[in-house]
Amino acid sequence: MSTRANSKAKASWKNTVVIPDKLYFRIGEVSTLCRLPAYVLRFWETEFPQLKPVKSSTGQRMYRRKDVETVLRIKKLLYDEGFTIAGARQQLRLESTAAKNQTPLPFPPHSYSDLRRIRHGLEEILTMLSARG
């Protein structure tokens, strides 16, 4: 494999992080998942207002899935796309604003009754499955 192809393979491998299905992650877990030292994560908390892990009663940082996704986005902006910290902060702000300004998908007028029918069907399936167990 050529050096160029090898570096592309490494870059794509770096960007595919599977985040486990958990409510909270400790800083060590996030550090391992994102391949970043814990001190970098703590520093980024001071630089990016979007990154605010909650603290447990013992003072441990507890990252939610959204926080881990934000860490990965910051890492990509800084390391892969060459943004400065100020530029990455502005880019995240722009992305957040754009997401808030998206127009919702319009539902056709008859969709409420369709949703009620689907919900009823799902409840029937749940009842059948509950009776089996």
Rounded Cα gap, residues 125 and 87, in angstroms = 50
> In whole angstroms, what separates CA 49 from the centre of its chain?
15
Q: What are the tens digits of pLDDT across the range 36-89?
A: 999 999 999 999 999 999 998 999 999 999 999 999 999 999 999 999 999 999
pLDDT at 3: 47
Amino acid at 61: R
Provide DSSP, 59-74.
S-EEE-HHHHHHHHHH
pLDDT at 23 over 60: yes
pLDDT at 33: 95
pLDDT band of 17, cuts 50, 70, 90: confident
Provide DSSP, 22-50.
-S-EEHHHHHHHHT--HHHHHHHHHH-TT
DSSP class of 98:
H
Sorted by where each starts, the structural domains of the chain and their CATH numbers stand as 3-103 (1.10.1660.10)
Average pLDDT over residues 93-109: 76
- Has this prediction a pTM greater than 0.75? no
Average pLDDT over residues 10-27: 75
Q: What value, to the nearest 5°, has the Cα angle with vertex 42 and ends 41 and 48?
A: 80
Q: Kindly report each contact of residues 81-88 with a partner whose C-beta sits within 8 Å and lies 24 or more positions away, as own/partner.
A: 85/47, 88/48
Beta-carbon contacts of 2 under 8 Å, excluding residues fewer than 6 positions away, are: none
